[in-house]
Structure 1
Amino acid sequence: MATVAEHRVALLGGGFSTDDDGLLDDWVLGHARTARPRVCFVPTASGDAPGYVERFLDAWRTRAYEPGVLSLFRRELDDDALREYLLAQDVVYVGGGNTANLLAVWRAHGVDRLLREACGRGTLLCGVSAGANCWAEGSHTDSFGPLTHLPDGLGLLTGSVCPHYDSEPGRRDSYRAAVANASLGPGWAVEDGVGALFVDGRPADVVTRAPGARLYRVEPDGAGGAGERALPCRLLG
């Protein structure tokens, strides 16, 4: 009987694009299924910004066996080659930017379907900001300008995700309000500096590079509001 791989998704509150110490990127590397993994950066949410791509390559070319970049705005792979490429990756690392645009472009190219397939085969899916939002059923986002809820995502994590929970004005109150009024399902709020690995939808390893930063579970409190519960996490470095 064939073995079904665990579904592994990691939410990042930082990484190569914001941090100089590399702690969260090394943590991601430690959860790859090989010591020298193939890692693909997907910068769709930023419109494949060239500077973002260069920062990834600078940070990962010595970490990964084959660091690569999937560009969809300047796509070169046909459908068969795109599927072969994504399914060969050990880690898919999704960058930040506009969550709504990211999801629309992925669906136009069939990348959403391929990422689900890769996850089912054991690829670690991870990302920061929009690259964390995309894995859940819904998310808290500024894709449309003001902070709002986006009841849309790949659904690999049940419920919702909120990034930048401690660092952007209005995030905490706006996300809790969306969960309280059921605009978003209960979910996970990620403070900057945190990394959270989910295995088959459950938190399996929660870390932080910033003392005091946390991952929170946010749920309706039964009295018209929403409460938050901090999960234990270990300090990196």
Structure 2
Amino acid sequence: MGTILAFGGGGFSMSDDGASALDDYLLDLTGRSRPRVCFVPTASGDADAYSQRFEAAFAGRAETSVLSLFCHQPWGYSDPKVLLEQDVVYVGGGSTANLLAVWRLHDLPEVLRDAAANGTILAGVSAGMNCWFEGSSTDSFGPLAPLTDGLGFVPASACPHYLGEPGRREKYLGWVGAGVLGDGYAVDDYAAVLLRDGELVEAVAEKPGRPVFRVERRGDGAVELEVPVQTLAAG
């Protein structure tokens, strides 16, 4: 389902000054000198400060916009079909479960499917990673739990913050091993996976030593298959 860059963590939202080699890599994927990038902060309830950080981080190098489904000012409500006009749709972190519920009320899944088919790059961090997959590891309900009703643009499961948050690794391995979640990708903070039409193209990181794994069910458990990671140079 098109091109997807899924961040386990990192990007402008985990940078003190907004600079991010992962975000630079994302912009380079468009092949444009000033791409159109729309930030979708639904998972955070359209937190104003989050949107402002996005606009500051991308100012001067992209035509930025924010899709606010909660009608926050100064952005107001936009028809989700504005996503069809973007080079990149960048989804922020927060609650994966809430994001999916709100998106479905506003018919975003179909709009995003059409955008991806037309060449728009879909990207996101944490919940903005999880949403594209069939299932994921999420703390949307408080304790870590499996979520099985993702959009399914990628026929696999996902686990962001793999080594960065206590319990992520152990829980995800257990769910995949038990068949609660399907085989998938475990991505550490400051790393990302690039997928095209559901297939892994490469893994990248903006800090050294940030691993990515393909996690697969084998017998009564799960195994980690380490994916080679390219460490990006700072811009």
Aligned-residue offset at 1:203: 1.4
Aligned residue for 1:10?
5
- Which residue does the alignment assign to 2:77? 76
Q: What CA distance in whole angstroms lies between the structure 2 residues aligned with 1:199 and 1:47?
A: 29
Structure 2 length-normalised TM? 0.93
> How far did residue 33 of structure 1 move?
4.3
Any gaps of 5 or more consecutive residues in structure 2? Answer: none
Say yes or no: does 1:122 pair with 2:135. no
CA distances 1:60-103 after superposition (whole Å, capped 9, x unpaired): 12221x100000011523xxx431x1100000000000000000
Structure 1 stretches of 4+ moved >4 Å: none
Task: Provide the C-alpha distance between the structure 2 equivalents of 1:46 and 1:126, rounded to a whole number of angstroms.
Answer: 16
Q: Give the CA deviation at 1:211.
A: 1.0
Q: Taking every aligned residue pair, what percent have the same amino acid on both sides?
A: 53
Matched with 1:192 is 189
Contact 1:33 1:90 in 2 (8 A): no
Q: TM-score, normalised by structure 1?
A: 0.92
Point out where structure 1 has 5 or more consecutive residues left out of the alignment: 1-5
| Aligned residue type for 2:30 | A
- The residue number in structure 2 matching 1:59 is 57
One-letter amino acid of the structure 1 residue matched with residue 43 of structure 2: A
Per the alignment, in what secondary structure is the counterpart of residue 13 of structure 2? coil
Root-mean-square deviation over aligned CA pairs:
1.2
Pick from 117, 129, 134 the counterpart of residue 137 of structure 1.
Answer: 134
How far apart in 1 are the matches of 2:6 and 2:69? 22
Give the distance between the partners of 1:25 and 1:76, measured in 2 at CA: 26
Q: Which residue of 2 aligns with 1:207?
A: 204
Q: Deviations over 1:105-129 (max 9, x none)?
A: 0000011110111011110000000
Amino acid at match of 2:10: G
Distance, in Å, in 2 between the alignment partners of 1:82 and 1:226 is 39
Deviation of 1:30 (Å): 0.9
CA distance in 1, matches of 2:86, 2:108: 13
- Give me the whole-angstrom Cα distance separating, in 2, the residues matched to 1:216 and 1:63: 32
Indicate which of 150, 160, 164 corresponds to 2:161: 164
